[in-house]
Structure 1
């Protein structure tokens, strides 16, 4: 019998999508996967100041019972769980590559892999980011999920150098993209396109970009109502493993993008 998740107490109703839907709780791999299965993702506070800022923002809602606090954590304001509404999503085969990039990719000395350097991609995504949401605790949970086959990374290489990447957590037919980075212009965009292509080849149906914004819209993301997103999560699981072999980036360029 499967043990109950602390997220079960949220029930079918989630709060407004422009603030956390819950605070507190633990951040182990089991809790993290249970959250993704319910359309939530974590934003840990980087330090005591960030936790105090969360308390200033959401303290009244917690006191009134409007914002639930999950069991298992020492400080409820040290961890926020989000489920934006609407959600920016992409179809795996519809990541947009602009013409200027497509022309360059035909000559770029880049190749791509999947799940060959998950830890390095985590480190690249954490490098220089403020606020530092990718804490050691979250990174440890993600590394364990990767070991279990639930978290994936896409890598872009220039020779032996990692120049871009993206990582996320897969739940059934949905891959929720947590973060990306680049050390060459457009390498993150290529990483998303490549990982999306491979996820689609494995049977995946949707890439979840989590946070909306101009950059993710430039990749082709469109808003999806949270209720519909949750219905997608409940769909059939992908069939087969993600192909991870090293491939040239030129394969991502469609004939009409020359």
Structure 2
């Protein structure tokens, strides 16, 4: 099968901006997507033609000045922006902070339990519901789902009885799990999903959770900024690559 992963392998992310897209365009197939994550990139597809036009209006001058690269493979390259923030917010796999109050509630709450990779499609769908901009397009969702079949994407799920109340998903590259999105249907369920998936990833040899976008919420989870140069080095490190334990486990163990 033909794919265009080589365009990402040849892209020197270190030369791109840390506060704007590094590149536009390219193909959103599973192999291309995995190659991009291996280079420290993640996609932000435009939800529609208006969002694509906005990308061109805002970043077109940067492209013209050589600050961002136009990749082949798409008639309108501004349909997909590729980001690699510098610095990058990261969390030690076993270092997600729940907070004392939530930890105490989990220890006293018997109905919540967790799993991994049991409901990837449902988590992916829930993460896209009601989001503006709607960046999880059909094209991206298809590529992520195909990567999941290859063991390269993972989901963490939180359940109350048989009800899925929270989750998170991301792409694994060696010792790093890049968290793309999370959702909650109960307060704190997404935070529990991140902590649980991090613990499982750590048990499988992983070291870092990549929160992608910095901000108060990810800082409250324990994220700290890491220079992009160091983050790129971490991607090529040893660790990870082992299937996660997806067994049903009580959420209270995280407290």
Give TM class, smaller chain: over 0.9
> Which residue of 2 is the match for residue 215 of structure 1?
217
Matches within 5 A, 1:101-116: 101-108=102-109, 109-116=111-118
> Which residue of 2 is the match for residue 7 of structure 1?
8
| Deviation of the 1:99 alpha carbon | 1.1
Could you state the TM-score of these two structures normalised by the residue count of structure 1? 0.95
> Which residue of 1 is the match for residue 201 of structure 2?
199
Count of matched residue positions in the alignment of Structure 1 and Structure 2 = 252
Output the CA distance in 2 between the equivalents of 1:217 and 1:117: 27
> Which residue of 2 is the match for residue 53 of structure 1?
54
| Deviation of the 1:61 alpha carbon | 2.0
Output the CA distance in 2 between the equivalents of 1:240 and 1:119: 21
Output the CA distance in 2 between the equivalents of 1:252 and 1:114: 15
| Deviation of the 1:3 alpha carbon | 8.1
* Equivalent position SS for 2:145: helix
Q: Can you give the 5+ residue segments of structure 2 that lack an aligned partner in the other structure? A: none
Output the CA distance in 2 between the equivalents of 1:164 and 1:30: 28
* Equivalent position SS for 1:42: strand
Output the CA distance in 2 between the equivalents of 1:41 and 1:102: 32
CA deviations on 1:6-44 (whole Å, 9 max, x unpaired) are 113323633111000000111111110000000000000
Does residue 134 of structure 1 match 2:167? no
Q: CA RMSD in A?
A: 1.4
Output the CA distance in 2 between the equivalents of 1:171 and 1:222: 19
Task: Check whether the contact 1:171–1:237 (CA below 8 A) recurs between aligned residues.
Answer: no
Output the CA distance in 1 between the equivalents of 2:36 and 2:13: 13
> Which residue of 1 is the match for residue 190 of structure 2?
188
Matches within 5 A, 1:1-258: 5-11=6-12, 13-108=14-109, 109-238=111-240, 240-253=242-255
Output the CA distance in 2 between the equivalents of 1:8 and 1:152: 23
CA deviations on 1:96-128 (whole Å, 9 max, x unpaired) are 011111111012210000000000000110010
Q: In 2 relative to 1, CA 236–135 (structure 1 residues): closer, same or farther, beyond 3 Å? A: same
Task: Check whether the contact 2:17–2:68 (CA below 8 A) recurs between aligned residues.
Answer: no
| Deviation of the 1:248 alpha carbon | 0.1
Q: Can you give the 5+ residue segments of structure 1 that lack an aligned partner in the other structure? A: 254-258
Could you state the TM-score of these two structures normalised by the residue count of structure 2? 0.96
